[in-house]
């Protein structure tokens, strides 16, 4: 960078207008040209064109992927700051080879744990449908499903899944769990019973997914798993969309082979306007807001500003 050049920093996908609300960027803006984008670009060519003039890019989770094919076309880029403790959509190996530093912010699972239960309760008690009924002048059109005595199936019993399982027990639910490396001892730590994969899907009244997305887990929940579920069962996914075979899920929901699904995450995000999940009446769909909570946003953007300040100091 020449002595007269001014560092350019981009903040991407701030479609909620949250970046400046949850952190003080004044120290960064005084030292660099800061541009906050409130729209989303899905086309890689458009992403490259937008980012070509920036030295640092701040990304919110996986909203804008940064694979090698994009990074290698951004010779000016020297820093990526990503909210969250990991971001599978950034090719960190390519970044390292290209001399691009990648920083991450702090993270807390509490918002996702809380939101998982918001979806479970809203789905089982038809909250969105009945709220719409009240607005439309109707009254008591559905009968909800109680949770006490029902079986909660947890796919993945890590930091989020373990907490979700424990909360299920507070509702009086029987809790069962499975993951590729599950042990009876690990399940018992969270008050759950380890079961076979087939039993998890066959026995659960509510099946909630809490796995990390990786090449090994992509499409983990397929047609055979969904076919084992009870016709009265509900599927909940606040983890990652590609963990579930979307085509198989759509077929299952259209045929009403399960009672419904509550979904916060999708194969493609933002969810296309004409996507069939938007139209199915047995789907409670939310726009990936499991992690969207004020305290976590303060961590995300506060840590982003701190990372940028350290980087600017090192370049001074």
Please tell me the CATH code under which domain 8-104+294-315 is placed. Answer: 3.40.50.720
Reported as a single tens digit per residue, the pLDDT across 51-96 is 999 999 999 999 999 999 999 999 999 999 999 999 989 999 999 9
- Measured between alpha carbons, how far is 223 from 117 in angstroms, rounded to an integer? 25
Give the torsion through C-alpha atoms of 122, 125, 127, 130, to 10 deg: 160
The answer for residues whose C-beta is within 8 angstroms of residue 5's C-beta and 6 or more apart is none
**What local confidence, expressed as pLDDT, does residue 270 receive?**
92
Reported as a single tens digit per residue, the pLDDT across 243-297 is 999 999 999 999 999 999 999 999 999 999 999 999 999 999 999 999 999 999 9
| Residue 204 zone, left/alpha/beta (φ > 0; ψ -120 to 50; rest) | beta
Q: Which fold has domain 110-285?
A: Rossmann fold (3.40.50)
Quick one: CA dihedral 15, 212, 70, 85, positive or negative? positive
Whether 8-104+294-315 shares its CATH topology with 110-285 is answered yes
First to last CA, the chain: 10
Is pLDDT of 2 > 70?
no
Which active-site residues does the annotation give? Answer: 240, 269, 288
At how many degrees (to 10) do helices 110-124 and 294-315 cross? 150
Q: Any idea where the domains of the chain sit in the sequence? A: 8-104+294-315, 110-285
């Amino acid at each position: 960078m020449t002595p007269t050049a001014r560092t350019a920093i981009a903040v991407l996908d701030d479609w909620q207008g949250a970046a400046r609300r949850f952190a003080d960027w004044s120290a960064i803006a005084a030292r660099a040209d800061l541009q906050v984008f409130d729209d989303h670009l899905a086309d890689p060519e458009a992403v490259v064109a937008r980012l070509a003039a920036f030295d640092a890019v701040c990304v919110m989770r996986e909203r804008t992927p940064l694979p090698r094919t994009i990074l290698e076309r951004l010779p000016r880029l020297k820093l990526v700051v990503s909210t969250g403790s990991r971001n599978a959509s950034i090719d960190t190996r390519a970044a390292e080879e290209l001399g691009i530093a990648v920083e991450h912010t702090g993270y807390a699972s509490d918002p996702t744990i809380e939101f998982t239960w918001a979806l479970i309760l809203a789905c089982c008690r038809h909250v969105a449908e009945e709220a719409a009924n009240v607005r439309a002048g109707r009254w008591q059109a559905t009968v909800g499903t109680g949770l006490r005595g029902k079986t909660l199936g947890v796919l993945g019993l890590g930091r989020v899944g373990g907490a979700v399982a424990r909360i299920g027990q507070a509702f009086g639910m029987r809790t069962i769990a499975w993951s590729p490396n599950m042990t009876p001892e690990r399940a018992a730590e969270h008050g759950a019973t380890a079961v076979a994969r087939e039993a998890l899907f066959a026995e659960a009244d509510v099946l909630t997914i809490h796995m990390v997305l990786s090449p090994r887990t992509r499409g983990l929940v397929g047609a055979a798993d969904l076919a084992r579920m009870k016709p009265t069962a509900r599927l909940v996914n606040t983890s990652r969309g590609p963990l579930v075979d979307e085509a198989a899920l759509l077929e299952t929901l259209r045929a009403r082979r399960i009672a419904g699904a509550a979904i916060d995450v999708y194969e493609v995000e933002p969810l296309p306007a004409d996507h069939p999940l938007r139209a199915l009446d047995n789907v409670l769909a939310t726009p990936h807001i499991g992690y969207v909570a004020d305290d976590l946003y303060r961590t995300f953007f506060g840590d982003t500003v701190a990372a940028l300040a350290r980087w600017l100091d090192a370049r001074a």
